[in-house]
Amino acid sequence: MKRLRAALQFMTTLPLGKPVRLEPAAMAPLFPLAGLLLGLITALADVAFRRLWPQGVAAVLDTVLLIVLSGALHLDGLADTADGIFSHRGRQRALEIMKDSRVGGMGVVAIVCVLGLKAAGLSAVWQHRFVVLTAVPALSRSGILLAMRTLPYGRPEGGLGHPFFKKRLSPASFWGVLPPVALVLSCGLAGVPLLAGFVLVTLLLIGFYRRKLGCVTGDMLGAMIETSEAVLFLLAAVGA
């Protein structure tokens, strides 16, 4: 529980009392569970939202709530990553651009597009809506574990994500992925496309990072979370 609390304090804005000392190697496997809790809070809030407003309005409020619960940490990473990767510069210069606290044009475009896609997808999710809202934030935070295991860290001199790369994640570190996967499978065959989409978007993003920069940073992991959420919400809305 102490490690889970540390993971929640690192990845969320939930009021959990006095800060717990970070233990990166122990915290990383708990990221999917942190996402599961965020998703559960959002799903419960969505029930209340839809009693008061149409589903389209509830979808926007759900999107805003996810931003608030994560402290916009991953959105900041998305903006920085977009500014760096789409600057059409070399690896070193792209990494330097990501470190710049200012948000450029590509960063703004990326934020607007991703948030718009999330809200659009959620507005059209009718079947298994509670499960989708609970599981998607957990799945998106599961995908970054594979990126952390397969890609080298891009800032050996130090950075927010550096402590998590000092020791390579073992296969046993992926146990936290099982609860959200089991939750999605509880929907039966309807959950299979969502899991297939999760695997595909995770592999595509890792491949994209490998081709573009050959590494990953904390910002890029945040961008991965935001992008995965948007794609999975859209996928859950297919055939609605």
CA torsion angle 184 186 192 193 (round to 10): -50
pLDDT in tens, the chain (240 residues): 788 888 888 889 898 888 777 777 788 999 999 999 999 999 999 999 999 999 999 999 999 999 999 999 899 999 999 999 999 888 899 999 998 888 889 999 999 999 999 999 999 999 999 999 999 999 999 999 999 999 999 987 777 777 888 888 999 999 999 999 999 999 999 999 999 999 999 999 999 999 999 999 999 999 999 999 999 999 999 966
Whether residue 11 is contained in a domain is answered as: no
Domain that holds residue 51: 29-236
Please, are residues 175 and 66 in contact by the beta-carbon 8 Å criterion? no
Structural domain includes residue 189: yes
Q: How far apart are CA 190 and CA 193, in angstroms?
A: 7
The torsion defined by the Cα of 46, 142, 29 and 99, in degrees rounded to 10, comes to -100
Does any domain span residue 74? yes
In a domain, 24, yes or no: no
Model pTM? 0.95
Q: pLDDT (tens digit, 9 = 90+) per residue, 2-11?
A: 888 888 888 8
Residue 52 falls within a domain, yes or no? yes
The C-alpha atoms of residue 46 and residue 55 are separated, in whole angstroms, by 9
Domain count, the chain: 1
With respect to residue 49, please indicate whether it lies within any of the assigned structural domains: yes
User: Is residue 123 one of the residues assigned to a domain?
Assistant: yes
3-state helix, strand, coil in the chain (%, to 5): 75, 0, 25
Is residue 226 domain-resident? Answer: yes
